[in-house]
Amino acid sequence: MQKTFEAVYEDGVLRPLETLDLAHRQHVQVTIAAAPELSGDVSAYFEPEEWKASKHDSITLDEVRRALSSIPGSLSDAVIASRDDRV
């Protein structure tokens, strides 16, 4: 398996910014490359065709809220669990 993901190095621990499908205590090989600095202007992250296509998205704010509300747990619970795992 090969996967690229972003992580943050905090207090001696490399913390992925997304959930990884790994077994508990699974050994992996990590290659480190600095992430590019992000500016406040995100327009360059998308091709002009992608911007044009996004004008036709029919997703409503209510649909987004419904989708987000189906995610179990809370951010504070996730932060607390992450801290507990490091101890």
pLDDT in tens, 65-83: 888 888 888 878 888 888 8
Which secondary-structure segment (H or E) carries 48?
Answer: helix 48-54
Residue 87 has pLDDT above 70, yes or no: no
Residue 1 has pLDDT above 80, yes or no: no
Which tokens in the block code for residue 2? 């090969």
Q: Which residues contact 39 (CB under 8 A, 6 or more apart)?
A: none
pLDDT of residue 52: 86
6-10, 28-32, 76-80, 83-87: which has the minimum mean pLDDT? 83-87
- CA dist., res. 2 & res. 54, Å (int): 30
